[in-house]
Structure 1
Amino acid sequence: MQNQKPYTILVLMNATPAWLTLSRSQRSCFVETELQPIFRRVSQTVTVRLFDSEYFHASVSDFMIVTTTVLHDYQLLIELLRDTPVYGIPYFRIVDIIVGQEALFEDFNELLNVGVR
């Protein structure tokens, strides 16, 4: 079997009125001063990408794509976010968290000597 495949974690969120009533400048400042330091703290093993989806989805306004091979560091990321207004006020309501690994079936085929036909 190959090296550990990275986990891809989708964190689906919906912005709350508390976030939406902040000015764009306040939101940018919050991301820069509160979120970016957290993302940097776990950046050796965790990659975080932020996306907007309010134009395309009725109940998910934003989502994060988190990639890591170290689930403990992903857990640290979430715990650190829980100590911020993202969860505390909350600025965002977490709609769902989806964890997967790309083409993991291939590893199981190899493990079971099934192969791809």
Structure 2
Amino acid sequence: MTTETTAPPVTAFMLIKTQPEWLAMTPQERVNAFTTQVIPAIKAKTTGVRSRFYDTEFYSTRVTDVWVWEADDHEAYQLLIDALRETPFWDRYFEVVDLLVGAENGYARTYGLEPVATIST
């Protein structure tokens, strides 16, 4: 059994749907909007956050993208959300359909167990 001495990172699965204003932009305009409006706001408000992006519009009409955010702690996550809400990202370029927030293997940490997970060989 391993013992963690630090708090686990906070992982947020942000389920979003693109809005007409975002879709009206060219791909380059979208990259420019994200890098000039969203990223600087995040960097100005918080540290210790990372992101990954998944396209889901091929399989879902309700949610077009899933953005996975990992924050070092709850404060960093809260600052991230505050930063996003102050940009056109929130409710202008995207509708935030749902937020699913958790800590990986929280059950194992709670009960002092080794995490159970599948391993692909």
d(CA) in 2 for partners of 1:4, 1:108: 12
Partner of 1:38: 41
Q: Tell me if structure 2 keeps the 8 A contact 1:53–1:60.
A: yes
Q: Which runs of 5+ in 2 are unaligned?
A: 115-121
How does 1:11-26 map onto structure 2 within 5 Å?
Answer: 11-26=14-29
Give the % identical residues: 28
Q: TM-score, normalised by structure 2?
A: 0.79
Structure 1 residue 87 and structure 2 residue 99: aligned? Answer: no
Question: Please, what is the CA RMSD of the aligned residues?
Answer: 1.9
Q: How many residues matched? A: 111
Query: Which structure has greater helix proportion?
Result: 1
How does 1:60-79 map onto structure 2 within 5 Å?
Answer: 60-79=63-82
Q: Which runs of 4+ in 1 moved over 6 A?
A: none
C-alpha deviation, 1:6, in angstroms: 1.2
Q: Tell me if structure 1 keeps the 8 A contact 2:22–2:30.
A: yes
Q: Which runs of 5+ in 1 are unaligned?
A: none
